[in-house]
């Protein structure tokens, strides 16, 4: 490996502190690499916003924040540096990268792993933005308890909507589950847990048209897309879970290969830029789960180690 005059040069810089980024950090740090992880929010990514996880090997059931903490402490105990900051730009210079952050930091590293995940999609309807934090929330675990004893609505037909709906049902008097299609996109076992709850009502083939309220959410207007019938539901909260968008805006200058906005790489998770690897939900994969993200992180971490050692 070449000798660099910059003593602050990191071997591996990981952007994103979810399961992919944290696992990559474990592999990098265990290999003796000077490793830094940049994360703009809490470590753990969407695990922090998930009540219960039942499909991660080694745990029959574990709280999302608990699993996030275990992963975080493991990588910290191995000597990785964890910095709370947001990356705004990456530039490639010779055989290293220059990473600029929102706070004004500039960090140089021989290799970079992109593990930034995704950001929840918005409904884009009247009242959603105005009432965000006043009943509109994208995190049931964060805000569900505020609606104890009250009716709320959740939107979506995927795993996030179903799993967080199960969680919300513990607090609320009534849970309306609003799904655009006539079916869910989850396995039967998971769906049955929601279907058997007494305080849940399903509104299929339906969309939310508007959120109403002055200082807080008071109701939502929904429309049946088959009959065009519109009805108003009295609720104190609205929780949209309608998919997500990969966090890649800060990479625009690099012209990385993408598919429908998601980053693409080869079988070793190499991008089309030498020394830059990808991992986790930001990648073009058919299924986005913690176990898959962790596997990505392990591979990307080791590939980055190999790359640095060969410089």
Catalytic site residue from 11, 143, 281, 296? 143
Bridge partners, residue 63, by sequence: 52
Measured distance CA(297)–CA(74) in Å, rounded: 14
- In the residue annotation, 266 being an active-site residue is answered as no
Catalytic site residue from 66, 85, 139, 284? 139
Residue 34 sits at φ, ψ, to 5 deg, of -75, 105
149 sits in the region (left: phi over 0; alpha: psi -120 to 50; else beta) called left
- In the residue annotation, 139 being an active-site residue is answered as yes
DSSP H/E element including 309: helix 290-309
Q: Closest by alpha carbon to 206, among 176, 165, 164?
A: 176
Strand, helix or coil at 222? strand
- In the residue annotation, 85 being an active-site residue is answered as no
How much helix, strand and coil, in percent to the nearest 5, is found in the chain? 30, 30, 40
Are 290 and 47 spatial neighbours (Cβ–Cβ below 8 Å)? yes
What is the DSSP code string of 134-184? TTB-S-HHHHGGGGTTSEEEEE-SSHHHHHHHHHHTTT-SEEEEE-SSSS-
Catalytic site residue from 142, 182, 187, 266? 142
Query: What are the residue numbers of the active site?
Result: 139, 142-143
């Amino acid at each position: 490996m070449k000798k660099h005059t910059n003593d602050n040069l990191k071997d591996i810089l990981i952007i994103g502190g979810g399961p992919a980024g944290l696992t990559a950090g474990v592999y990098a740090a265990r290999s003796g690499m000077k490793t830094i992880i940049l994360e703009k929010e809490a470590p753990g990514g969407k695990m922090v916003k998930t009540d219960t996880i039942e499909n991660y090997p080694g745990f029959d059931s574990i709280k999302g924040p608990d699993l996030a903490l275990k992963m975080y402490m493991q990588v910290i105990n191995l000597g990785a540096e964890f910095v709370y900051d947001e990356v705004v730009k990456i530039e490639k210079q010779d055989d290293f990268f220059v990473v600029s952050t929102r706070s004004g930091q500039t960090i140089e590293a021989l290799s970079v792993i992109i593990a930034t995940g995704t950001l929840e999609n918005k409904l884009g309807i009247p009242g959603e933005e105005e009432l965000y934090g006043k009943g509109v929330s994208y995190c049931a675990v964060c805000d569900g308890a505020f609606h104890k004893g009250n009716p709320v609505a959740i939107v979506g037909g995927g795993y996030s909507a179903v799993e967080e709906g199960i969680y919300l049902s513990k607090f609320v008097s009534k849970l309306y589950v609003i799904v655009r299609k006539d079916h869910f996109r989850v396995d039967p076992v998971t769906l049955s847990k929601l279907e058997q709850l007494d305080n849940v009502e399903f509104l299929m083939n339906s969309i939310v048209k508007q959120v109403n309220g002055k200082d807080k959410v008071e109701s939502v207007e929904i429309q049946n897309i088959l009959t065009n019938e519109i009805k108003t539901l009295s609720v104190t909260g609205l929780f949209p879970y309608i998919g997500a968008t990969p966090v890649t805006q800060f990479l625009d200058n690099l012209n990385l290969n993408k598919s429908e906005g998601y980053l693409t790489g080869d079988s070793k998770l190499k991008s089309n830029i030498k020394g830059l690897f990808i991992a986790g939900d930001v990648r073009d994969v058919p299924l986005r789960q913690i176990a898959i993200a962790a596997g990505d992180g392990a591979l990307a971490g080791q590939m980055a180690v190999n790359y640095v050692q060969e410089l």
